[in-house]
Amino acid sequence: MSTQWIAVITTSLLCYITKYIGHSIPESWLAHPRVQRITALIPIVLLSSLVAMQAFTIKTKFVLDHRLAGIAVAIVALKLKAPFPVVVIGAMATSAIVYRLKI
């Protein structure tokens, strides 16, 4: 079995187990304010750094290109409280247009 398959199956099972554990532990275990604060921040730091990596790097090198335009449109759309599909399709269309114009 390839490394890729092992990673796919391991991640899938770990994520399912995480959900199942959540349904199985008493609510009081996570009641500590420090645990609550940190767990609320974890998705924020991960998503933020993922945006940084996916939109502004190519193979770990910092790069500014057509993707910046797409992300800018997504942020403006979110500021204007646009619905989810508008945010995503708007970003994709903008990025694609800028990319094609440069070629």
Partner 1 sequence: MSVKRDSLSVGLAVGAAGTAFGAVAVADHFSVLQACVLSLVLFSGASQFSFVAVMSAGGSGLSAIITATFLGSRNGLYGVRMASLLKLKGWRKAVAAQITIDESTGVAIAQNNETDQRIAFWYTGFGVYVFWNLFTFLGAIGAKAIGDTSAWGLDVASPAIFCAVLAPRLKEKKMLFTCILAFVWALSITQVVPAGVPIITTVAIAAFVGWK
- Of 79, 73, 75, 80, nearest to 97 by C-alpha is 73
User: What is the closest distance, in whole angstroms, from the C-beta atom of residue 75 to partner 1 in the complex?
Assistant: 6
Which residues, other chains included, contact 69 with Cβ-Cβ below 8 Å and sequence gap of 6+? 94, 95, 98
Give the footprint of partner 1 on residues 80-99 (CB under 8 A): 83-85, 87-88, 91-96, 99
Q: Does 32 bind partner 1 (CB under 8 A)?
A: no
Q: Does 25 bind partner 1 (CB under 8 A)?
A: yes
Query: Cα separation of 85 and 94, whole Å?
Result: 14
Give the footprint of partner 1 on residues 60-79 (CB under 8 A): 60-62, 66-67, 70-71, 74-75, 78
